[in-house]
Every structure is written in C-alpha cells, then in structure tokens.
Structure 1
Amino acid sequence: MVKRKELQEPKKISQKRLVRIFKDIKGVKSEDNRFCFLIGAGASKSSGIQTGWELSEEWYQELQDDLEVDELKTWEKAIKFDAKKVGEFYSHLYKKRYESCHQVGYDKFKRIMESAEPGLGYVILARLLADEKHNFVITTNFDYLIEDAIRMYTATKPFTAGHEIMAQFISSQTERPTIIKVHRDLLLNPFNDEEQTKKLKDEWGKALLPIVKNFSLLVIGYGGNDGSLMDYLTEIDAKDRKPIYWCIRNEDDLNDKIRKLLTSNDFIVEIKGFDELMHSFNFAMDYKIFKDLDDIDNHQFVIAAKKRVETLKEKKRELLERLQKEKPEDISEETREIFTSAERYLLKIAYEEDTDKKEDIFKEAIERFPDNVELLNDYAIFLKNSKKDYDKAELYYNKVKELAPESGIILGNIANFLTEVRGNHELAEKYYEEAILYKKNDSVILGNYAIFLGTTQKKYDKAEKYHYMALSLDENNANNLGNLGNLLILRKKDFKTAKEYIEKSFKYTKEDQLDLLAELWFYRYTHYSEWREEAEKELDKLVAKGAKSIGWNFEDHITIAKENGHPNIKKLQEFADAISKE
C-alpha cells in the first residue's frame, strides 16, 4: 500500500445533505453508489453501553483511587498521558486498570453487553443494512447490537465475522448484511489493550481492501483512537478508496489521526448523534418501522413473532403426532417432558389400546382442559371412527370450530365428516375450500379435497389439479401418489402413467398402512396382468389382517376391469367388498 500525500482539507456537508444522498441512491436504484458503515462505541450509548470515552474516564478515576501518586505519574509520563484527551488513551487505560486480573475486565464487558438491547437507532440501521445496498458494517465494537437488531427487526440473517479467521469468507459482492468486527467478537477474546489494537491483523487488511475500494465509508460514533484501523486507512492512498463521510457532533473533536486521514475527497458531516441521524434516514427512506405501535397485535414485528410461535407449535404438534404412532416404551421421559397439560393426555390416549379406557381418558382430559382445540378435535375423530357416535362427534366438531374458526385442519376434518358420514357434499365442499383458504400449503388437506372432487363430485379436472398441488408440496406422500394413480385410471384410463404413481406410492408406503397397501394391491390386481398372481396372494394376506378402506368405492374399477376382460371378476368383487365394507 502506498502512503498518501498531504492533501487539502475535507469538505463539509450537513446531515440533511448526507441523508439526501441515501434517498437519491434509492430513488435511482443506483448500483455504483454504496456505503459501508464504520461504527464505533459512540453509536451504542443510547442502547445502554458506555462509550470508549466514558469508560476511559471511569478507568482513569479508578486508577487515581488505586495507585500511589508516584506510580500513577510514572505511568502517565511513560505513555505521554493527557487527561484532556482521555479517550485517546482507551487501550492504555484498559491494560493498566485490569493488568492484575484480565478476566475481571472481560467479565465487565460481558455484563454490560450481553444485557444490552438495540436502541431505536440500531433498529433503523438494521433496515438500512437489510433493505438497501448499503449492507456492510465495519466496527471496533464487540457487542451484538447490530446483529440482534437485524435478527429481531428484519427477515434477514446477517453474516458476522467476529474473528480474523472469518475474514477469508467476506465477499464484497454479497447482498447479505455483513458485520466485520476488527477487534473481534465479545466471545472470541476481544482486543482491548494497546498491543492488541496497535496493528490491524493482516487477514482484515486483505478482506477490507475491496470494501473501501468499492464502498464509501460512513463513520458514526467512532473516535479514531485505535492504532490498527486508523493506521490501515491512512496508509491507503486516497485515489485507491472511495470517499469517507465522517460524522461528528463537533468538528473540534476531530483528533490528529482523523485530520491526517481525511482529504479533499472526503466529507465531514456534523450530526446531533447516531440516533438522530438514523431517525432522519427512517423518514427519508419512508420506513414504516414505528407505524401502528399502538396497535400491537397487528404490528409487523408482532405478526412475525406470532408466526415464529405458530411454527414452533406446529413443530411440536408434528413431534406429538409422530410419538403417538410409536411404542410408549420407546419414548424417553425427557421427550415426554416437552409436552405439558392436554398434550400429556393425548400421548396417554394414543398408547391406550382399550377403546372404553381411551374414552375415559378423553373425558378426564376434557374436564380439565375444556377449551383445548387439539384435544376436542381428536375426541371428535375418535367418536366418529372408533365409537361411531356420529351425533356426539358432530357436537364436538362444532364446538372445536367455534374455538378455532380459521383452522384449516379443523375445517378439513369437518368436511371429511360431512361427506363421509352425513352425505352433505355441498356443505363439505364449502368447508374444504375454507380449509384450503386458511391452510393453503397443507398437502393432506389438498389431497383429501382432490379425492372428494374425484370420487364424490366427479369433478375430474379440478380433482387432478388439486392432486398435483398436493404432490408439489410433498412429492413422496404415499396416499396422494396412490390417489392420483386411482384418478388417472378412472378419468383417462391412463394405465401407464397411473402405474408410475402407484409404484411410487408403494415405495413410500409403510408396513403398517394396511388400508393403503390393500388399495394399491387392488389396483394392481384389477388393471395390471403382470402383477395379478402376486397381487391376489398379497390381498388375501391383507384381508386376513383386517385391512380396510371403509366406504371406498371400487365399482368403477370393476366396470373397467370387465371392459378389459379381467379373468376373475367374482374374486375382484370379493376383494372390493372385503376391503370397503364393515
């Protein structure tokens, strides 16, 4: 790197002019004008973290209290200490203050920084980093305010290089918010004393060069008191970097290092503070971060948080459904502890084989948790499938619908009940459509609706559309694959394509899915002569095991088999009756 020559003074612009630049860049969608933020400790003050200057003052006062007068004067003379410029001696003061116990100093920083929450300024900065092209931050801070703000208040995940080892993974071409901590991350042995902050690590120097070459530095809250970063920037010829915009409250506070760095290509921007500058950006960029804060339930942050909670609940529900199918002795107590209240009962119900005892557990659970949607929904299904108490099942379906009127799963279950039990196909179709409206990405609901459309309503085109929609969400769903094969046979008599889906369905069907296996072997026995002999043997075994698909209509398949000259229609009918009738 070539040392810069002395050049004339930097230009001065107002905060308004600086903000206007950002607004203009956004307006013209400029790709060539990008800023990299250089953030120092001054930016973190409103978030509850002391500035470097404040810490320096605190440490100096403590050294005055702890050291003998002669020892203090000798030390001050050795480092040419100037109390009026106490902040410029930050690293010296830190080393002296904690020389007898480095860990105490580190623990102090941990206590301060780990409890800090991003202030309003950092919330706005997070939006700038995530939504605009200005996605880089270089910082001498080791706190987590920037990355916390990005994770909490945007939908973006940042990349943080908190150690020089990570420098090799920094790309100036990335659009991901990237945070470069040149003095390391809080948990990675950060640099504080003068030896550590004297010279920038070579790894950082190499990684930062493309950034300062292609990004204008916007410096906020940084006093330029460390040797490492300031010396690095000063050694770069002004012609080999973009302009620097140095934000400061008072121009008189610029130290000699800063004055030596800045040239006529650079700018001094007088601001009232980090937060105030960010407030101006918020207004100029027309962000809606603070809109509708009084309407908490409908604020974008709350909606996003609710979505995360719902996702977590869904994952927990998926785990519960998986455990309900496993043997109780295979479930550890630690895993059971994940589930509380009504969920514990649902596990107990799943492991109880006696129908009457199972109902007793349901009743006890509902008495304790009368408004638990999952519990009431499962009880309605139990009443329908196991007890055949359809009136009581309908009563509970209606109750659970009142509690969860926008639950796609509940609406889908009610639609199944209406068409299978009540024969009210018109109302069932309405519920299916509502279910999809509220849970449009559920392959099971889409698949059930497709079956209903094809087998009950004979709306084959629409049925095929929904079968493919279901498979687009879960291409390995055995039920949906087999049902699409069924539809293709009935609708188009496309035996070749149907065979492909039936065979794929076999691939993903589990051994305990006797009902589905019976249907798939039935299709093989009915329409594919090469499988007929084996299919007959497998169907005999499945019927003997009690495989059932109650209510499934095989009549159209039998009609097609007769047209195609099936050799044993009588046996075919026997299988159909054994599988589909009580």
Structure 2
Amino acid sequence: MDDIQSLYDIKQLAELMDDRKNGETPYLLILGAGASFSSGCSSGWKIVEDVLDKYHLLDSYRTQEPEELSDSAKLELFWDFLKARSQTARYTALRRHIEGEEPSIGYICLAELIQAGYFNIILTTNFDIFLERALQSIGMIYPRDFAVLVNGYQIEEHVLKSLNFPKPRVKVLKLHGDLYARIFQFRPNEIFEFTDKIQQTIEKLLEDDAIIVGHSMQDTDLNRCFHIEGGEIWYVNPNEPTADSAAGNLREIRETFMTLNGIAGYFDQFFIRLHYYLLRESQRIREQRAHFYYQSGRELYELSNSSSNPEDYLHWAIQDFRVAADLGFTEADVYYQIGQSYDKHPNSREYNEQAIEAYSWCLELNPNFKGVHRNRGRRYMEQELYDEAIKDFQLELSLNPGDSDARDWLLQARERKMLEYIYEQGRITNRDYRKLFEVSRSIATKELSLLVEANKLVRKGTGRGTYYILPEEGE
C-alpha cells in the first residue's frame, strides 16, 4: 500500500509547494545519485566493478586467491586506485559512467519547476551536469539565471558569498565535485569532512523544510549537517528507510519526516507527477509526459495482480491512462487499458458505462483492435442491451474467427434475447429465430438444438409445425 499512499502524498506535497509561492521560502532540494540513473549514469557499485575490471585490478587476486574477494575488499582496491590518480586521471576513468546520455524527462520537469520558482537552492552530491543541461534546455542562461557552485573547486569565500547573494535566484551547490571541473571527492576520507564554514552554511540551509530525492544518505559529511532542530523532510526513495540507516535515524529525530517510496520514489516518477500537478499547462514536454503516464498506468495495472487491494492500484492506473489521453497520447491501447482496468475492478459492474465509453474511444482510433468488441459486448450484456452485444460479438468474430470466448458470448446474447422473445410471444420457430438474428436455417437449427439439449427449450410439433417453448417447472 506504500505505492498508493505515496501517490496521494505527492498531490499533498504539490499543494504545500504551491502555497509557498506567496512569499514563503521554497523547499530546499537535495539530489543524490539515484537522480541520474534514468539519464544513463551508472550506479556506484557498477562504477566500482567496471573500474576493477577495466584496469585489471583483480587479475593478481584471481591467480592467488581461489575465492572471490569480499565487497569491502573490492571497495578498498577501488579507493586505493583513485587515491593514486590525479584529478585528470580520475576524470578519464569515471567519465563514461558519469557523463550519461541526455537529461531524462524527470530532469526536464525539475528544470521547469525550478524556473517557475518552486526551488531556489539545490544541493547535489552528483558529479554529472544533467541538471545544468536541463536548465539550459528550457532557456535558463548560466550564470544569469542560475549559479553552479562546486565545493572544493571554487574558493570557499566565493561559494559562501554566492549562496547569500540574492542574484541569481537559483543556486546549485555541488558538494562532492563536478565532471567538467574534474573535481571528484569520491574516496571515504574525501567526503567525511566539509570545511567549518561550508558545514555551518549547509547546517543552516538544512534547518528549512527539505525534499531529498535519489539520495540514500550514505554521505557522512552531509548527514552530519542534519540536526534535531529543523523543518519537515520529504524523503523520496523507492525503498522505505530502515531503522538503522541514516534516513531512518533522521526520521526518528525530525518531528515531520514524510516518505514517498515505491513507484513514486523514483526520480522521474516523482518529478513528472509533481510537474503535472503544479505546471500541467506546460506544452514543452507534453508528448514525453503522455508516454510516461501511459507506461506508469501499465505498471500499476500489473501491480494490481499481486495486491490484496487491487482496486487502489486500478484506480491509479485508470487515472494515469486518462492523464496520458488528456496529454495527447493517441494510441488506441490507452483506452483499451482503461477498459481492461474497469473490467478487472472488484466492483466491475459499477463501471459499465465508463468501460463502454473507453472501449468505444479505442474503436474510434482503431476499429480493428482485437478483443475490444468482445469486451464491450460483455459490458452491453451487463446492461441487457442484447442487440448491441450481439453486434459486437459478431464484429469480433469477423476480426478474429478463432475467438472462442466471443463465440460463447454471442450464443449467450442470442439466448437471452430469444428468451425475451418467448416471454412476449409464448413460443419461437426456426423462422422466427432466423429473422430475429439474421442467420441461416442451418445456424438457427444448430443453435436451437443446442438449447434443447441443454434443457433450456422444449421442442414441440413436427415438420413445418415445429416450435419451441420454455420448459415447464419440474420438466
């Protein structure tokens, strides 16, 4: 249920952020490595393993030690390798892991939120420049519209002065270095300490309300800056913090500590949803957002299969599919998925009209979409609209003659309409059946015979005088 609660909580956070637009200090934003995975950056452990392999750091151990080295031993080798390297050599070794590809859709959404004034100060432990590139891609100009401050690269006085100066409004403070400045504070002893003045400044910043995204809080220097006294924390991470983790400890000491985990805890998921609630009128990335919501709906639909409360996941799946459609997602499947979600809902019968509408929109976009006529026909059956149901089942069979479910439903629909006819007329003949359903004599004979064999009809008379009635009670 954490997935579902977090989806509701993002809406609450968006309202709180919007309220601050009226003169209050925006939330402080803290970004970690998880922010950049979807942009092509490697995880920390992937970097370690690749460096060990690329630079043959394990070769001697493979010949000397039959057993594989422990993870801690591998980390020591990795750190020793970096210790012996210059900043340029570190840049060469780490560049392809940190440089990534293009800023993800989550970064573009974040950039637009920053541009709109929802964040002023961003602390990041990342070396990459995805945020800077995202800001520039939406028209923000460096250094006019945003400043980038690199701890350990620019002199301390410049960093402190820039943070306190009102212009530019947006400041990005890179705590552990920068890819193109070729400053990489990566080893444990390098990230255990800030200078006194930098630490005091960060401590002051962390007294305000903050949102932590993509950061597992394993950086000792930053963790030391959090104190008991301080504002609310929103911790955005796919995983719930454990009691013995730094995030878990912070939850214990801060009065307000909100977690957004599960689906909503991923960087792209979080910022795309936040962007939608706060800046839904933006057209720049409409197509990308539409695709995101479609994929998110599919994921939530799948999660409903393993949930003890599938209706919650299906509710959000339907919401995401509808947002995708509203944003211009033009593939018919988005409406098919909405209909499927209603079909799967535990209270499915309450949503007949909504499901029919969704399937009808699907057929507007793709009249030959297999399965849709069958599913809509079943919904018509629920509403006792047998003519519409029969037409849909016949259309489904014309598209997919091997659909046995559609054939079974067609027979059921004809049976129910036939029963209505008999209730009114008292009987039905082969000719009546042919006229009622526009079928051949052979089909009418076959289907009437099946109903007789199933004891649903009784045959009376012979030859041209044959007719069929409902069985008497007890027959």
Provide TM-score, normalisation by structure 1: 0.41
Larger of the two Rg values belongs to structure: 1
